[in-house]
Structure 1
Amino acid sequence: MKVSGYQIFWIVSVSSMIVFSYLPIKLAAEKSHQDSWISILLGGMIMMAITWMVLLVCRQNMDKTLVGFMKDLLGTVLGKIIVTAYFLHWFMQMSLIAKGTADFQNLVMLHNTPMIVILSCMMFLAVYALYRGGITVIGRCAEIIGPLFVFMLYAQLFLNPQDMDMKRILPIYADTGWFSILEGTLSSVNYMIDPSIILMLFFFAENKQTASRAILWGTAVSMLWGVIATLVVLFVTG
């Protein structure tokens, strides 16, 4: 099973933007208020640096899966422990996102539908796609859905210009200071993007060089989305 660099770009972009929209903006705003966009920008720079370092590790172990090179780097016992902990963390994070998606669907479209029914339908779709084609199906879905999804997310930010006032982000820095801005960065950066998804995807890339560029660009697109989305929220709500 292989995926192209183009498919990896959309997988990283879509998954990162979904995770990014879930908590980071809220956590940054609680600490740094109208300067939360600076916290998000700093967090984005940190995540780009982490992504670059993860890519260096992946390129040194191009012919190995995550499980394989973790065992080589850390030993069989410690490697298995860390990989197990990583997968448990991944499933917990995905369960939170799945529940959030089901809550949104229940609130907006399916008011009287039991939550277990919505979750069951989502899980059936995911399991069926993996059963039929694994990562290949995910890549093909991403390259079709990805452009539409990213376009809609960016476009909807600018649908209510009459409610935006750029002066609502003022004063910059004066009311919060660097400590609050950094506090907002540290509280939100853990929930921005999970660069460790790269550790799983990179092994399946057809062209490793193209995949590296695609991952960096995908991360950059989602980071740009985070900064612009935070600014738009501040322009509207203050």
Structure 2
Amino acid sequence: MKLSGLQIFWLMFTFETGNMILLTVSPVMEDAKQDVWISYLIASLLGVLIVYIASKTALLHPKQTLVQFSRSVFGKWIGTIVVLVYLIQWYSVIGNILREFADFTITTLLPLTPPWTLYVTMLLLMIYVTYIGGIEGIGRCSEVFGPIIILSIVLLVIFSLKDVETINLLPVYIDTGIYSIWKGTLTPLAFLGESVIILMLASFTDDPKKVVKSAVSGITLAAFSATIVALCVLLVFGPDIPAKLRHPIFDVISYLSVMDFIQNLEILAVLVWILSVFIKLSLYFFLSCYGTAQLFKMKDWRKMIWIAGIFFFALAQFFPDTSYTFGYMKTYWTQYALPINMVGIPILLWIVTKVRKKMKVSGTM
């Protein structure tokens, strides 16, 4: 299984874009109000820094995944704990996203559909692409879906231009302050920080020299897209209404009408989200199966697919409703996963590896 530099780029972009656009605008607007764009810009810069450090760390251990080199860096026991910390993140987020996918689809498109049918449908697609194509198959899907997502976002931004009110940008900073802006930064940053999956993906690339550039470019485009979308929501609705809505971008799109002819554009938002969510779930599904198999030294990682599929169905079935999603983001995701999984461990891996390499060169090891 090999990934090209272009596939890494599209994987990073599609992996981040959909959920970030759908789920972060409301909580950021609640904290940062009309300075939402500042929060997104800060999150974008820090998110790019996170993926840069993670990429550089992965390249220090060529042809090894996070599961393998974490134990060589920290030792067997601490390294295993580090791997388990990431597996907890990957397993829990799949159940959460599956539940969010089903609830959002039922609310917007299929109100009479039982949630379990949507879980099964998405899981079967994930199992198929993972079993048949592995990470390479997911990468090829992202190459197809990525341009569609970009085109959809561009169209939505163009259609919203006639409804923008620039007065909604004012006043800048006065009503919020640094604390509120920083608080608003944490939610999109926690999504961008998921790009640390490059610690696993880098070992599958056919040209390691392209990893850093491709990953950073993909996250930069995803962050820019989310910032532009959040700015459009602010300019159309102002800061107060979106803060009270669950999915403000969807409501903005429902509001749009071009010449009283082009209406009901919600399908574009649903398309962007479903395509992105499919890539995100498939990528997490592959990482969970492959990482677990490596941890327990299973010769055929594909055997984990069937066990994981049943587990994720049960997890989604018994996951709380979508109101829990925002609590999940503001508690586990921003208070634990962000500082530990996305910032702390990658930096520690990078520092320890660098120190050991220098000590080895100087002959003190």
Residues 1:228 and 2:228 are matched in the alignment: yes
Match of 1:16 in 2: 16
Residues 1:31 and 2:16 are matched in the alignment: no
Match runs of 1:130-169 below 5 Å: 130-169=130-169
Coordinate RMSD, CA, aligned: 1.4
Match of 1:126 in 2: 126
Match of 1:196 in 2: 196
- Post-superposition Cα deviations, 1:184-224, rounded to whole Å, max 9, x if no partner, equal 21344223340221111111011011222111100100110
Shift in alpha-carbon separation, 1:105–1:186, aligned structure 2, 3 A? closer
Is the Cα–Cα contact under 8 Å of residues 20 and 193 in structure 1 kept in the other structure? no
How many angstroms does 1:46 deviate by?
Answer: 0.8
Match of 1:218 in 2: 218
How many angstroms does 1:155 deviate by?
Answer: 2.2
Whole-angstrom distance in 2 between the partners of 1:195 and 1:133:
22
- Post-superposition Cα deviations, 1:37-88, rounded to whole Å, max 9, x if no partner, equal 1011101111111111111101101121110111011111111111112111
Whole-angstrom distance in 2 between the partners of 1:145 and 1:74:
38
Match of 2:205 in 1: 205
Over alpha carbons, which structure has the higher Rg? 2
How many angstroms does 1:25 deviate by?
Answer: 2.2
Match of 2:80 in 1: 80
TM-score, length basis structure 2: 0.63
Count of residues in Structure 1 that have an aligned counterpart in Structure 2 = 238
Q: What amino acid maps onto 1:38 in structure 2? A: I
Match of 1:181 in 2: 181
Whole-angstrom distance in 2 between the partners of 1:160 and 1:125:
33
Whole-angstrom distance in 2 between the partners of 1:33 and 1:64:
43
Q: What amino acid maps onto 1:5 in structure 2? A: G
Is the Cα–Cα contact under 8 Å of residues 19 and 192 in structure 1 kept in the other structure? no
Q: What's the % identity of the aligned pairs?
A: 31
How many angstroms does 1:111 deviate by?
Answer: 1.8
Shift in alpha-carbon separation, 1:72–1:212, aligned structure 2, 3 A? same
Shift in alpha-carbon separation, 1:187–1:107, aligned structure 2, 3 A? closer
TM-score, length basis structure 1: 0.95
Moved over 4 A (4+): none
SS in 2 for 1:157: helix
Whole-angstrom distance in 2 between the partners of 1:123 and 1:154:
30
Q: What amino acid maps onto 1:39 in structure 2? A: S
5+ residue gaps in structure 1? none
